Amino acid sequence: MKVLVTGGTGVVGTAAVRALLAGGNSVRLFSRHAAEDAARWRGEVETWKGSVSSSQEVTGAAEGCDAILHIAGIAEERPPELTFENVNVHGTANLLQEGERAGVKRLVYVSSLGAERGGSDYHASKLRAEGLVEAYPGEWLICRPGNVYGPGDEVVSFLLQVVRSSPAAPVIDAGDQPFQPIYSEDLGAALALAVTRRDLNRRVLLLAGPEVTTMQDLLDRLARLTGRDPVRVPVPSALASLGAQAASLLGVRLPIDDNKLAMLREENVIRPGEV
């Protein structure tokens, strides 16, 4: 099977491309840095240069492909170009249009666990994109993974750096919001299966690891791993939100912006009874 993969250079995408290749599939990687990516994979993948937010650059990318695995998306905005609407929503619309034009039989879209109930702008954009996917005339599958951890991830790697090097670790509210993380390689393997398992069609799959944890529990584990346990400083979410908004107005980039704070306040787990 020949698969067009967007977002194939991130933590999740790299694992998914690796799993697809291991399964005997061929991959065309859609990327803004095609030449560098081709060198990185040493000729194992084809590349197509472009941005999903540009319909012109997307046109032709899916020609000759049997499936599209659409991972590309942003969890943090950098206006005016990189916004949730431009990338997560319009980018998905562009891929769907290209898939229909090229006669691609199957499309797998990577959304986010909690998209249907989350209050953040990020989750709202993912839910709008899901609605577009559900109108695709071919086979489609929506995958909602939980927080992803693995080398280079945005959450655990950042916390590990804090525990290793900082005298204090900020904790939003009580740090007891539950989340259900999934290892990047496990998610990559699951997405590769989602592409090739054509019996899974017109469904929403919830993907998460076996354990439910919290920020406090995660800090406990990292403290045991590193032998360092920084002082934990509770920060009310309202105060953290004001600080993040002020930093944004001043043009200062923080590791966690106001949108990510909103996601931290939400439960990110598979609830009993959910399929």
- Is the same domain home to 91 and 104? yes
- Is the same domain home to 124 and 186? yes
- Is the same domain home to 98 and 166? no
- Is the same domain home to 192 and 216? no
Which residues in the chain come in under a pLDDT of 70? 240-265, 273, 275
Q: pLDDT exceeding 90 applies to what percent of the chain?
A: 68
- Is the same domain home to 142 and 18? yes
Residue 199 backbone phi and psi in degrees, to 5: -75, -15
- Is the same domain home to 107 and 125? yes
pTM of the model: 0.91
Is the residue at 269 inside a domain? no
> Using one digit for the tens of pLDDT, what is the confidence trace for 106-155?
999 999 998 998 778 999 999 999 999 999 999 999 999 999 999 888 78
- Is the same domain home to 6 and 131? yes
CA dist., res. 120 & res. 132, Å (int)? 19
DSSP H helices in the chain: 11-22, 34-40, 55-58, 84, 91-102, 121-133, 156-165, 184-196, 215-226, 237-249, 258-264
- Is the same domain home to 54 and 169? no
pLDDT for res 158 = 81
CA dist., res. 187 & res. 7, Å (int)? 14
Domain containing residue 13: 2-148+182-207
* CATH, residue 139: 3.40.50.720
**Under a CB-based contact definition with an 8 Å cutoff, are residues 228 and 168 in contact?**
no
- Is the same domain home to 171 and 197? no
- Is the same domain home to 103 and 203? yes
Report the domain count for the chain. 2
- Is the same domain home to 233 and 99? no
pLDDT for res 268 = 84
pLDDT for res 42 = 87
